[in-house]
Each structure stands twice: as structure tokens, then as C-alpha cells.
Structure 1
Amino acid sequence: MLRSLYSGISGMKGFQTKLDVIGNNIANVNTVGFKQSRVMFQDILSQTVKGTSAPTDTAGGVNAQQIGLGSSVSSIDTLHLAGSAQTTNNPTDLRLDGDGFFAVKLSEDQETPYLTRAGDFHVDANRNLVTSDGAYVVDSDGAPVVVGEEATSFTIQQNGQLLYTLADGTTATGQTLGVAKVTNPEGLEKIGGSLYRVTPNAITDGAIELTTANNAETGTGSIVAGQLEMSNVDLTSEFTEMIVAQRGFQANSRIITTSDSILEEIVNLKR
């Protein structure tokens, strides 16, 4: 009887975690570059009441009798599927059409850059290309991207290279934005601000090798200027999963109340 109580508790804890993840997904449905998460469950070690026996010449085999002890969360996965494109026509709004991440640094002396898919960049007073939080967008060499002082306008090409238009009408090329290809994107660690920290399970030894966009050798996607990658959260599936989680939580709570009622009857057998 106590097993059913603890099984119900484990189920309620798991579905509470699932509701927490769903709530975060829905809260970020309009967050640029956000990647939705999902919760996966696994059963807990079962208690063996009776073991197995192999078949013999005179008797057949007998299967094991096991009682499960509930469930637990096996993983919380981040689904790095592409989000929909939103056209803004803002030249500093960038979208990666394919694999890869933009690289940013909170300070110039930061050794390992953070990664992001949110391309809503801006030009600050020092003509640095920065994120909304002021982090430097870096080039393929890891240096902050600086927009040319003599340029009257600029565009960012598909490979991430800046193309300036000068006052005399001529054009000139500048730095090329750095793009990082990650072997296992699910191994990245979310640190807030739409940023990811590299871990040893994302890239071997956690060492980032910056390359350029639209690179056939590394398989990075091309950069589309004037567009943003929106959240990949699907509200239809999230609300459906929320209903499933709610009913699952209710069913597990019913296990606890039912087990409690039976225990009460057992206690009241001797009056």
C-alpha cells in the first residue's frame, strides 16, 4: 500500500516538472531565437516479487513478477529546431538560415564566447555591433565587430561579411561575423538572455572554433539580413501537453487519496 503512495508522489513530482517546462515555453512564445524544451520520463527500479525460471523438459518457463515503484524525469531536452522567420527590414536584424550560432562576448577579454540564435543586434555609440544587453558580437577571429566610421550605410552579406557604402559612393568590405557550429546543440547550457554556454558534451573539450556563415565545409547556414528567427514554440502542442500534464497530475493525486482511504480502513479494522 505504501508503494502506491510513493508511486503517486513520484508521478505528481514529474508532472509538476512538466508543467514548469510547459509554462516556460509558453512564456517565451514570442522570444527571439528561443528553443522550446520537453520533459522525458522513465520508470524507477521495480521491486521483484518473484524471479524467473527457465523452461525445462517437464515444465515451462515462468516470467518474473515485478511491481514498479513510480516514475522519474529522465531528461529535459532543448529542441533546436528552426523557428519561423519574421521580416523586419532592419539591417542589423540577422537570422541564421540553417545550422550554427552567433558568437558574443560580454567583454573584450572574455576567452570563450557565448552562443545565441537571437540576431536582434544594434550599433552602439562606439559603432560596435552589440546585443540588446550590450554584449559584443564577434567576428570569425573572436574580435568585436566594429562598423566602419567612414561608412554612410552598410549591409551584411550571406557569409556574414560587412559591406560598406562610403561617402563617395564606393563600397568596401569589413569584418566577417563569426559563426560557431556545435556538434551537440542539446548539450549547450542556457544562461539567460537568449545565450548558451558551451559544455564538454556540446563540443569536444568545450573548445569553440569560429568559422563563417554559408560555409559548405563546416555546414553552417547563411545569414539573412532584415529578418529574425522567432521562437520555435508551437502553442497548439504546448496546450495539448498542458492538458495531458494536468490530467496526469490529477490521476496521480487520486492514487494518493485512494491509497489513503484504504489505509484508513485498515487502521479502523480494530475498533
Structure 2
Amino acid sequence: MIQLNDVSVRYGDTYALRSTSLKLHKGQFTVLLGASGAGKSTLLRCINMMCQPSAGTIDVVGLGLLQNRRVLQAHRRQTGMVFQQHQLIARRTALQNVLMGRLGYHTTLRSLFPLSQEEQRIGLRALDRVGLLHKALTRVDQLSGGQQQRVGIARALTQQPKLILADEPVASLDPATSEKVLEILRQICKEDGISAVVSLHQVDLALKYSDRIVGLAHGKVMFDAVPTDLNENVLAALYDAKPSTVSEVPTMPFASILNLSM
């Protein structure tokens, strides 16, 4: 579906992402795993050019290389984004925030007017799928953090995307809410055949919800395989490479995490 060819991101003498080649497959739920600062967010944001690569190319099936504005706009229109801090407008209702996912289909002038009834139905269906139809007219600043993140997922769904990118979507949520949010996201992606790339640092969640894990450390891909291939040696390479992130290393034996995730 999407091919990254030798993509790197460099700031002066520092590499946020080293030469990376990956192929993202249709319908696959891919987790980018690693410690803070490993390059997960940089890689994820390169996929829709929110972060401009210093080198390399990105090729999207059906569109071609992301090298001009027209192709990039078409790619972003079919790519939903879910952010760590939700990126919602607090004074607006859940439905108003969700409908912002439709703005990419309209000119700036058209977006100043109310959306069609059909598009409002799309927004309501998206809220229903994340279990928040009853909160459609509630201001988002009156919702819990988990509910706000589900509004963010619903907003991405209103784009009717082929791809969803989620940048640390559960980093600010408690464990139970994190599982609920990821369960909803994964189920919707599977039902609709949507590809997903989700950055996480929680090993147990990566094992439980991913089809594929891409592990990064210091801007370099260190691991790319199915979850069952992840082992203690890989974890050491991903997390021990940066001692300041020792708090993110699992506190229970890897075998125990693996059993809990099955």
C-alpha cells in the first residue's frame, strides 16, 4: 500500500530517523515500538509528510510518489490522524469536532457553510461506532480523556480513510482505558479493511493488538516481524540503548507479558 524508500530525517548533525525502507500492507495493524526519542513519531509523521524527510521517497499505491501538492493532498484526504493530546476544540461538541474530518473534501469557501445531511450522518455513524452517539451534542471539554480520544478516532473515521496514523494515542490514558481505545481502533480497522500505523512504548499493548511490530532505537529500525518473534534480546536492544528511559522497560518478565497478551 505504501513504500518508504531509504527515508531519513536529519536536523543538523543529528538523525531523528536513519535510512529506513518499509512496506506497509493493506489492512495491517502495525505498531511502532520503542522508547521515547527512538524515532517512532518521526517515522509515523513522515508517512503523511507532517515531517519532511531529509532524504528518500514515499510511494503510495494508486497515487505515486509524494512529491507534489496534488498527490500529497489526495494522500492526506484518505489518511486519518489520531493524536496523543486529542487535538480537539474544547468549546465545540463531539459531533462538531468529528465533522472536521470532512473538511478535506471541501474548498475553504465551502467549509464555511454547514455540511450536508449525509455528511452529518457519516459523523453520527462514526460516533456510534466508538460508543459515543449519546455524547454527540456534548462539549468535548466535558468528556473524559478516553472519551476525547474516541472522538479523535471518530473524526478520523469521517474521512472514510484507507489509512489511520495514531501517534501515541494512549500515552495519557490509564491502562484500562488504553485497552478500550486500542480495542475499538483495531476492531474498526479490521471491519473496514483500514491499514493502521500506531506508535506505542507499551510492550504488552503492542503484543496484544498488533499484526506486525516495527521496533526502533536511536532512529533506526532494529526489529520488523510478527509479535510472536519479539523476544528479550530485541527488548534489550530497543530499551537498554537509552538508559534514561529505563522506566519504560517492562517491570515483569517478558514471558509473563507474552502470556498475558495472548
Could you tell me the TM-score, scaled by structure 1's length? 0.23
The higher radius of gyration belongs to: 1
Return the TM-score normalized by structure 2: 0.23
Going by fraction, where is helix more abundant, 1 or 2? 2
Flag the structure with higher strand content: 1
